[in-house]
């Protein structure tokens, strides 16, 4: 196995977890900057050709994990692997962002849901999407459909 | 930072890297099994409600990284963060699979592109997709469009 190392850090408007929009209908349209460490800058070559990027990052302010938990979008517990809870066996977060522009070691993006200062582990081009008619969203769709 | 730990392992038809379909037009429709370690089984609760899952895994047979590399789908070098190369600063792979069925500690899935025995780090529900008319695919679209 490996020890994670940051390739950069997120500049985000969110300073504490309570500020990140959560739960049903949460919109993630905040602008932020992915500031890459200078030694990794060549790895960004040609990245501006992609409209969307997948950011893999570390839940560095979360400690420990729960195999079952009740997410903010429901009032029933679900398995951690059926949720986006930060309390996971490997504290890895995943966010798809829209790339607005690439300036040297900075990627200006829309759609951040990470806290300010979050370590970035990896960036990959977002390539494909599942057609919506083939996508089932499990307990989340049920929670949305349930009368409030 | 954290040290990765496997939550399970992939059972895949691919035993060596050369067997995994790569490059332009590569189809990933191989069936496989995600075999989760028994201690993490409660974390799979309710996962069967989702049609697609995002699997985060470790490139455990890749060592070191290149910031610039020429992928099989092109004849020009690109930054590692604009490719899906296994030789990355953090050896993290990402695959979206279709969930066929959940049986105890086994998730039977379609769309594996990992090698047999690959350590699984995390599983998350696949929730959203970028509409295709908003998606730009950078150098990959250019490589596809280039006369062979």
Residue B26: what pLDDT?
A: 74
Tell me the mean pLDDT in the region A139-143.
Answer: 76
Answer left, alpha or beta for residue A84, where phi above 0 means left and psi between -120 and 50 means alpha: alpha
Q: Which residues in chain A are contacts of B52 at CB distance < 8 A? A: 130, 134-136
Residue A141: what pLDDT?
A: 77
Residue A147: what pLDDT?
A: 75
Residue A130: what pLDDT?
A: 67
Residue B57: what pLDDT?
A: 98
Residue that the structure tokens 């200078």 belong to = A38
Share above pLDDT 90 across residues of chain A, in percent, rounded to a whole number: 66
The answer to whether the CB atoms of A138 and B56 lie below 8 A apart is no
The answer to whether the CB atoms of B82 and A129 lie below 8 A apart is no
Which of B82, B110, B127 to mutate against chain A (most A CBs within 10 Å)?
B82
The answer to whether the CB atoms of B2 and A4 lie below 8 A apart is yes
**Torsion over CA: B126, B64, A114, A102 (sign):** negative
The answer to whether the CB atoms of B126 and A134 lie below 8 A apart is no
pLDDT in tens, A56-78: 999 999 999 999 998 887 888 99
Going by C-beta distance under 8 Å and a sequence separation of 6 or more, which residues neighbour residue A55?
Answer: A10, A34, A94, A95, A96, A97, A109, A114, A120, A122, A123
Going by C-beta distance under 8 Å and a sequence separation of 6 or more, which residues neighbour residue A17?
Answer: A61, A86, A115
Instruction: Give me the interface pTM, i.e. the ipTM.
Output: 0.91
Taking the C-alpha atoms of residue A54 and residue A124, their distance in angstroms, rounded to an integer, is: 5
Shortest Cα distance, chain A CAs vs residue B13, angstroms:
22
Residue (of A107, A104, A114, A101) closest to A30 by Cα position: A114
Pick from A2, A52, A53: CB nearest B4: A2
Tokens matching residue B76: 């020009």
Which of B58, B71, B81 to mutate against chain A (most A CBs within 10 Å)?
B81
Residue B130: what pLDDT?
A: 67
The answer to whether the CB atoms of A83 and B125 lie below 8 A apart is yes
Nearest residue of chain B to residue A68 (CA atoms): B43
Q: What is the pLDDT along chain B (148 residues), one digit of tens a residue?
A: 889 999 999 999 999 998 998 876 677 889 999 999 999 999 999 999 999 999 999 999 999 999 999 888 788 899 999 998 999 999 999 999 999 999 999 999 999 999 999 999 999 998 766 677 777 777 777 777 777 6
pTM, to two decimals: 0.91
């Amino acid at each position: 196995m490996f020890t994670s190392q940051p390739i950069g850090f997120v500049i985000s408007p969110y300073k504490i977890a309570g500020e990140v929009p959560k739960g049903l209908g949460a919109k993630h349209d905040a602008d932020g900057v992915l500031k890459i460490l200078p030694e990794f800058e060549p790895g960004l070559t040609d990245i501006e050709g992609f409209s969307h990027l997948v950011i893999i990052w570390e839940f560095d302010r979360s400690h420990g994990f729960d195999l079952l938990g009740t997410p903010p979008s429901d009032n029933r517990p679900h398995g951690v692997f059926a949720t986006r809870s930060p309390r996971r066996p490997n504290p890895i977060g995943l966010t798809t962002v829209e790339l607005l522009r690439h300036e040297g070691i900075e990627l200006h993006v829309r759609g951040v849901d990470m806290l300010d200062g979050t370590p970035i582990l990896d960036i990959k081009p977002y390539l494909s999407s599942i057609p919506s008619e083939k996508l089932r969203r499990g307990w989340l769709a049920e929670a949305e459909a349930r009368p409030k």
